[in-house]
Amino acid sequence: MHGALIPSEEIDNFVTLRARKFTSSVRRALTRDVLQSENLAVLEWQLLFSIARFGSCHVAFVTKHTSIDPAHGSRAATALEKMGLISRREDPRNKRRKLMSLTPSGIETVERIWPKAKQVTANFTDKLSPEDLEELKRLLDLLNGAPLTTGGLEDSQEGVEVFNTRENLVAE
């Protein structure tokens, strides 16, 4: 048997633990309050949300621009396709890749879940003043690198088709 190996003051400076605790709390609440009733896993929601965010894209693009692991992203895409929430088709610019698009059912699912997901997050972030929330977002963006704002166009257009209207989100 032994005592603590890492001094408390070192733990207090290990920001990863604090970030993980926060994201785990949000993830658990999202699963409990929203995703369970939709029969979606968190990873499936993350991929569905990413396609809604970026427009039609391939798994490699999503995994490059999010925290989704490539192997897990591929499995989530297969599950979403089986549920009828996304479709995949050959990427005309790269025949080795498949572009993922939301189906009409996928769009309805995103439109149903998104407001609830925002509320779950707000239940945590409402504890902050508007200024503190902006500062938190600024600091997270700084730690994570530059944020994507318009479907990844600042970074790379390869693998993404940007859509401006809800109707264009529907898979062909």
What does the angle CA 77 – CA 79 – CA 84 come to, to the nearest 5 degrees?
Answer: 90
| Per-residue pLDDT reduced to its tens digit, 7-59 | 887 777 788 888 899 999 999 999 999 999 999 999 999 999 999 999 999 99
Q: What is the mean pLDDT of residues 104-112?
A: 97
| pLDDT for the residue numbered 147 | 52
Other beta carbons within 10 angstroms of residue 102's beta carbon come to 24
Residue type, 5: L
Residue 169 near residue 102 (C-beta atoms within 8 A): yes
Q: How far, in Å, are 22, 66, 128, 139 from residue 144 at the CA level?
A: 16, 10, 21, 8
- Boundaries of every domain in the chain: 37-169
| Per-residue pLDDT reduced to its tens digit, 55-87 | 999 999 999 988 899 999 999 999 999 999 999
pTM, full prediction: 0.77
- Structure-block tokens of residue 138: 């600024």
DSSP 13: T
37-169 topology per CATH: Arc Repressor Mutant, subunit A (1.10.10)
| pLDDT for the residue numbered 146 | 60
